Structure 1
Amino acid sequence: MAELLVIRHGQASFGQDNYDVLSDLGHAQSAAVGQMLRDGGWVPDRLVTGTLKRQRDTLTSMGFDGGAAEEHAGLNEYDFADLLNARFKGQVPDVVKGDRKTHFRTLRETVFDWQDAAFDGASETYADFAARVEAAREFATQTQAKRVLVISSGGVIGQMTATALGAPARQMMQLNLQIKNTAMTRFMFSGPMFSLHEFNATPHFASAAGAKLLSYS
């Protein structure tokens, strides 16, 4: 039996011109989870990230050799800005852009509509997103490695988890919104067998000092 440990990237830059940049907190979160893995003797045999900067930089700040990592674009997040633009036909309300609570409530509704193909104009259909996440999962698990470390994003982890559980499509987004920055979701695999072992775990935030690192976006 082998392990696939999927970690969400550290906090990025919500509300900034370029979201795809780790904040100082994101780097600190990444360092904390990397140190926890080393302290526990968990050493990966294989490293895989998406192609996004925030994913690659999370691995580097964890203290692992980002240059040795393989990349698979199927691990990239769905383009939430593109979905909102498509739903609102390019006129996204300012409150959706700037207010965190409104943004994520609206995004949840938008993803549900995306899953139902209720609007046109998105650069990627939900079916295409689900297919590329599955392709990335197969890529990561078709290996002789026993410990595979993947750095990805909340939507991908939510989709992978929902699929492993045989859950309805809506569950992908319900899971997505729960996932903390640098949280660990662990799967076990062997040949065609793939099952969830642990979801959204953050033992590196369990101490008083670690609790100050907690974030969701």
Structure 2
Amino acid sequence: MGAIYLIRHGQASFGAADYDKLSGTGVEQGSVVGAELLRRKIRFTEGRTGSMARQRATADLVLDWLGADAVAKEDPRWNEYDHVDIVARHGGGVPQQAGDPRGYQEVLDASLAAWVRAGETGPCAETWPAFAERVRSALADLVAVLRKGESAVVFTSGGVIGTLAGHLLGNPEMGLLQLNRVTVNGGITKLVSGRGGVTLVSFNEHAHFEGRAARLLTYR
């Protein structure tokens, strides 16, 4: 049985000119995740990361803890949905404002629901069905290269993780709209693959952000 650990990237720079850059908190979160994976003594035979800067930077921080042999191959299929395009097409193009993250989140939530409802005929460059299919294919290809007893680590985003978790529970739409909403930066989701297919065994683990590290717990 193989294991796949999906890591949500550290906190991005909400409201800044370059949202895709890790915030100072995001950098700290990446180091905490690296220490947590090192503590677990998991040997990863495969690593993947999306091509977004916040995903790649998180991968670099975590893998630095795991040693020189740990690498993550870049695969853009692990990238997050384009929230700017989705809000532009379904939410009136409301901009991110550093002083009102909650207001923007409400607009994004409504826009994502509209994106799902629009289906294949939606106006976005990437429709919801296309997004769901690309993340499923990324997971399937990773599972295919894992041998018995091997583990993989993936650095990706909340929408990807929520959608895949929902898919494995039989409802990818619920995963995007509800599970995605509660994913924490630096959270760990574990999947296992075996003869019966892929199973979700844990979602959004974040005990590594409790106690002294509680100040680093963020959702956006």
Instruction: Flag whether TM exceeds 0.5 (same fold).
Output: yes
1:131 matched residue in structure 2: 133
The two structures have a TM-score, normalised by structure 1, of: 0.91
The match for 2:80 among 73, 77, 80 is 77
The two structures have a TM-score, normalised by structure 2, of: 0.90
Q: Cα deviation per residue 1:42-92 (whole Å; 9 max; x = unaligned)? A: 22111101111111110111124598321221110000011111124xx53
Aligned-residue Cα RMSD (Å) equals 1.9
- The correspondence of residues 110-129 of structure 1 with structure 2, limited to 5 A, is 110-117=111-118, 120-129=122-131
Q: Secondary structure at the match of 1:149?
A: strand
Amino acid at match of 1:104: Q
2:84–2:93 Cα contact (<8 Å) kept: no
Q: Matched residues in 1 for 2:104 and 2:142: separation?
A: 32
Q: Matched residues in 2 for 1:142 and 1:115: separation?
A: 28
Alignment pair present for 1:159 and 2:152:
no
Aligned-residue offset at 1:40:
2.0
Q: Secondary structure at the match of 1:159?
A: helix
- The correspondence of residues 59-208 of structure 1 with structure 2, limited to 5 A, is 59-62=59-62, 63=64, 64=66, 68-88=71-91, 91-93=92-94, 97-98=97-98, 99-117=100-118, 120-145=122-147, 146-167=150-171, 169-191=173-195, 193-207=197-211
Q: Cα deviation per residue 1:84-115 (whole Å; 9 max; x = unaligned)? A: 11124xx5345x64521111111111111101
Aligned-residue offset at 1:171:
3.5
Amino acid at match of 1:188: V
Q: Matched residues in 2 for 1:187 and 1:67: separation?
A: 20
1:87–1:120 Cα contact (<8 Å) kept: no
Q: Matched residues in 2 for 1:120 and 1:196: separation?
A: 30
Residues 9 and 66 of structure 1: CA distance in aligned 2, closer, same or farther (over 3 Å): farther
Count of residue pairs the alignment pairs up: 213
2:19 matched residue in structure 1: 19
Q: Matched residues in 2 for 1:134 and 1:156: separation?
A: 9
Q: Secondary structure at the match of 2:183?
A: coil
| % identical equivalent positions | 31
Q: Secondary structure at the match of 2:35?
A: helix
Aligned-residue offset at 1:169:
1.4
Amino acid at match of 2:57: D
Q: Which runs of 5 or more structure 2 residues have no equivalent in the other structure?
A: none
